[in-house]
């Protein structure tokens, strides 16, 4: 409890409704279903710009020139290649380990070799993107038992990532789909992992430490692990006829339907809308995609029936799963690939936090016992 002599803002469990301060990076408009990156609608950006251009926008505040895009790619590719040559990083990328554990450890090893100063710079952010992209791609190659593919002149980050991971030349459709996914998941306001990274950097730590903490937060199934759980749900349902009875059983049992509902969005997630279009282009005759669409429509109808007072709609994880399946990504690498995209947003927030030299230190309301009088 609080009174006039202790005028602290009281935050509910989960810090809902509490702002840690201003930011120029992104607007997550939950009421109207919009996602804005530095004044640009994400649904427009995904049609007109690739991932590295959007990463530059998040870091610098404007879209890059062609020369600046090429410089950025060179930095990213240099650090992707560095992963394969660094024994400390290679030792962490054990294909038998949990993928997010391996990536977290690899990024810790990379940060040690980078020797970043307090805070960080845009150059550190660019290098970090290359290091995590290279780490996840190499981990994917190791898990598949293939030799990692070589990065080529003229590659985009998405194409280099897929080739390094699979050892094969990706199709233009696969590259375009992955690039759309990376753009749409690059940034999303003060989510749990971004908050974690900003808290760490606010202590006058470095971007490397912030990344390791953010990866740890993203590992949880309530944050970054959802797309793989959506895939498992579709697997369990199996057929269109089974969708309604399966979903009714889960809802009546009080279980959460993965891919539906969002902490902020109270309407259809704009990222899901954009990725749904990508999925349709990739697999218009795909039986799996038809099943996913049927499950979505059935779930939305049943959620409205059972919970008419709740505003539960499709979120980004639902069609992220469809897109990542269609480009034949190892399900164990769904969340690590999310970490690659979100590194752009994480590091943008860390760089912004450096300009506010104030330790993030919320309070907690003690409700435990007091000493006996």
**Active site (catalytic) residues:** 262, 317
The answer to whether 116 touches 207, Cβ cutoff 8 Å, is yes
Distances (CA, A) of 190 to 119, 173, 187, 230, 284: 19, 32, 9, 24, 35
Residues in the chain: 373
Phi, psi of 261 (to 5 degrees): 85, 150
Measured distance CA(7)–CA(4) in Å, rounded: 5
Provide the 3-class DSSP secondary structure of residue 27: strand
Signed CA dihedral, 295, 300, 303, 305: sign only: negative
Of all helices (H) and strands (E), which one includes residue 40? strand 40-41
Of all helices (H) and strands (E), which one includes residue 41? strand 40-41
Contacts of 64 (CB under 8 A, 6+ apart): 53, 56, 57, 72
Q: How many CA atoms lie within 13 A of 113 on its CB side?
A: 17
């Amino acid at each position: 409890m609080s009174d006039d002599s202790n005028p602290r803002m009281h935050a509910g469990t989960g810090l809902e409704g509490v702002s840690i301060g201003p930011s120029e990076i992104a607007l997550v408009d939950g009421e109207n279903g919009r996602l804005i990156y530095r004044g640009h609608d994400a649904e427009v950006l995904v049609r007109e710009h690739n991932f590295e251009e959007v990463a530059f926008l998040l870091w610098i505040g404007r879209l890059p020139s062609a020369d600046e895009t090429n410089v950025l790619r060179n930095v990213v590719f240099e650090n992707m290649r560095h992963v394969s040559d660094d024994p400390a990083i290679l030792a962490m990328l054990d294909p038998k380990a949990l993928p997010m554990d391996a990536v977290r450890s690899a990024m810790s090893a990379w940060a040690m070799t980078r020797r970043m100063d307090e805070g960080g710079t845009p150059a550190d952010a660019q290098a970090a993107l290359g290091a995590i992209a290279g780490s996840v791609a190499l981990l994917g190659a190791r898990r598949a038992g293939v030799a990692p593919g070589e990065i080529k002149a003229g590659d985009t980050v998405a194409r280099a990532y897929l080739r390094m991971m699979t050892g094969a030349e990706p199709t233009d459709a696969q590259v375009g789909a992955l690039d759309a996914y990376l753009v749409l998941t690059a940034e999303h306001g003060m989510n749990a992992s971004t908050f974690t990274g900003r808290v760490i950097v606010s202590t006058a730590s470095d971007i490397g430490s912030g990344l390791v903490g953010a990866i740890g937060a993203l590992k949880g199934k309530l944050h970054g692990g959802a797309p793989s759980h959506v895939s498992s749900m579709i697997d369990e349902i199996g057929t269109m006829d089974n969708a309604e009875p399966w979903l009714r059983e889960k809802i009546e049992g009080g279980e959460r339907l993965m891919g539906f509902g969002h902490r902020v969005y109270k309407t259809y997630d704009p990222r899901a809308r954009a990725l749904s279009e990508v999925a349709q282009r990739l697999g218009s005759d795909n039986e799996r995609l038809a099943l996913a669409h049927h499950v979505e429509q059935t779930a939305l109808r049943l959620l409205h029936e059972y919970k008419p007072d709740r505003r539960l709609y499709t979120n980004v994880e639902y069609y992220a799963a469809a897109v990542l399946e269609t480009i034949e990504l190892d399900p164990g690498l769904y969340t690590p690939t999310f970490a690659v995209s979100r590194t752009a947003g994480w590091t943008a927030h860390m760089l912004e936090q450096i300009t506010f030299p104030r330790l993030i230190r919320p309070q907690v309301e003690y409700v435990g016992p007091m000493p006996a009088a």
